[in-house]
Amino acid sequence: MSTAPLTTPSGLSFSSDNMAGASPRIAQAVADAALGQVLPYGNDPFTARARNKLAEVFEREVGVFPVSTGSAANGLALAALTPPWGSVLAHRDSHIHHDECGAPEFFTGGAKLVGLAGDDSKLDPDALRTAVGRRAGDVHSMQPSVMSISQATESGSVYSVAEIRELSAIAKEAGLRTHMDGARFANALVRLGVTPAEMTWKAGIDVLSFGATKNGAMTADAIVSFDPALADELAFRTKRGGQLTSKMRFQTAQLDAYLTDDLWLHNARRANAMATRLGDGLKAIPGIGLLATPQANILFCRLPAHVTEGLLAEGYAFYHDRWEEGIVRFVTAFSHTTEDIDQLLDAVRRHSV
């Protein structure tokens, strides 16, 4: 029988923001939703409130389809945007390209993901211009159909609104639809200091995978569509994909609490601030090199092997040597404190001597 601990102390966990628990207000909202009886399949007041709040957040009517995972959000959103003979143009480092076990291809019925180049895990406009026209109209080839960007990206970089507009314009001029993987949407939003509308539909995005789980929710993400023509198809695809939950109130109660009193923005600011504090501290330690200044809540750095080994021996959790030898990724969460960050920095200093 295993004697391993069931949990890792939050101050030692930097491998993913998925390791964080839930915001207390969200946990309480789920408990409150367990009382009494309401109609199933989203015909309840919790879902109505969540949909109304998302409409307020995005300054327009939107289609809202709660799902239990980001992979489902991405796969179902892309399925509504591309035919099975289409291709999805995304950065080669993107989550949909590397970390979803073919879920986008599964949900789309065979559409092909095409990985494109770009610095800092962001699509390069020139690479996109070339890709949108590659073999277009050739019946022997997959047809470019969707551009998908991650905001924030897998390396922690953030697209500016101007960059999103430029990429969306290139895609739409060629007849492609546009998708945003917003697993860390709030982290990017507070980094830019813009409105959700400015970062999405006003910049040319058709469908957003709206992430909440990494930022304080439990099991709640959502597909947010800015195109009313997609509503029926997304509704049927969500049901067919096993994501129309009977007790949807437990998901939408989370989203309702998440959006109440700017909890989602508060959580994202905390996570981003912890990454900035960690980055500033690491830069001051001789022999430690940041690959880039963190823009959201993800930080990549180069650590000597003995420092990595020392941190692991103390119980710290983080990814290392996954991208290349000596490269470490730290991900901060809304639940981290300044004390957690300072203790990690002290440990790095001790092992760097």
Helix crossing, 125-132 with 161-173: angle to 10°?
A: 20
Query: pLDDT digit string (tens) for 269-320?
Result: 999 999 999 999 999 999 898 999 999 999 999 999 999 999 999 999 999 9
Would you state the pLDDT for residue 4? 40
Which whole number is the average pLDDT over 219-238? Answer: 97
Which whole number is the average pLDDT over 254-270? Answer: 98
Question: What percentage of the chain reaches a pLDDT higher than 70?
Answer: 97
Would you state the pLDDT for residue 3? 40
Can you read off the two tokens belonging to residue 130? 């070339």
Residue 6 has pLDDT above 60, yes or no: no
Residue 9 has pLDDT above 90, yes or no: no
Query: pLDDT digit string (tens) for 139-197?
Result: 989 899 999 999 999 999 999 999 999 999 999 999 999 999 999 999 999 999 999 99
pLDDT-derived band at 2 (thresholds 50, 70, 90) equals very low
Question: What percentage of the chain reaches a pLDDT higher than 90?
Answer: 91
DSSP string, 163-224: HHHHHHHHHHHTT-EEEEEETTHHHHHHHHT--HHHHTGGGT-SEEEE--GGGT-SS-EEEE
Give the span between the Cα atoms of 289 and 328, in whole angstroms.
10
Would you state the pLDDT for residue 1? 36
Average confidence score pLDDT of the chain:
94
Would you state the pLDDT for residue 289? 87
Q: What is the pTM of this model?
A: 0.94
Would you state the pLDDT for residue 347? 97
Would you state the pLDDT for residue 187? 98
Establish how many alpha carbons lie within 13 A of residue 46's alpha carbon, considering only the half-sphere containing its beta carbon. Answer: 27
